[in-house]
Amino acid sequence: MTFINNTCEKIIEISEKKLHAYPGNYDEYVIEKQKRYDTQLKHYEVQQRELEKQEAYINRFRYKASTAGSVQSRIKMLERMEKIPEPKSEAHVKPITLKTTSHLPEKIMELKFLEVGYSETIVNIPFEITVTKHDKIGII
């Protein structure tokens, strides 16, 4: 990883249908990515505990006339609540090998308003990106 650490100043990751930018080298990226995962997992677990608590209240008091209004408001609150998806651990990175025998053109890649996906857009880059042979990029 020494080569990547010495050449990268910024890493952009495509994960969970979003772009995530990380300033710094690869080691800093791995640390920040783990922090982001830990934070997402913590928020997910807190929400799951709250959902369980509310559902237990609903199940306990659902058939009591004196608490029917409270139960209904909690049911509506749960329906409106935006559920946090369980974060996926991406613990491994697949190695990439690139081989070339010819000289590269000045412009390697040009992306204009890129949308990637199958039936729905997974990644949307609403601007232009040009990569020249002097740029250093990593696709992970």
Residue range 74-90, pLDDT digits in tens: 999 999 999 998 888 76
Other Cβ atoms closer than 10 A to 4 = 15
pLDDT of 48 reads: 95
CA 84 to chain centre: 12
Q: For residue 49, give both structure tokens.
A: 């505990």
**Unique residue bearing structure tokens 């949308």:** 115
Q: What is the pLDDT of residues 47-66, one digit of tens each?
A: 999 999 999 998 888 888 88
At 81, is the secondary structure helix, strand, or coil?
Answer: coil
pLDDT of 123 reads: 74
pLDDT of 80 reads: 92
State the pairing for strand pair 107-117/10-15.
unpaired
Could you tell me the pTM of the whole model? 0.58
Which stretch, 2-6, 9-13, 36-40, 130-134, has highest mean pLDDT? Answer: 36-40
Q: Residue 45: is its pLDDT beyond 90?
A: yes
**Unique residue bearing structure tokens 């772009």:** 19
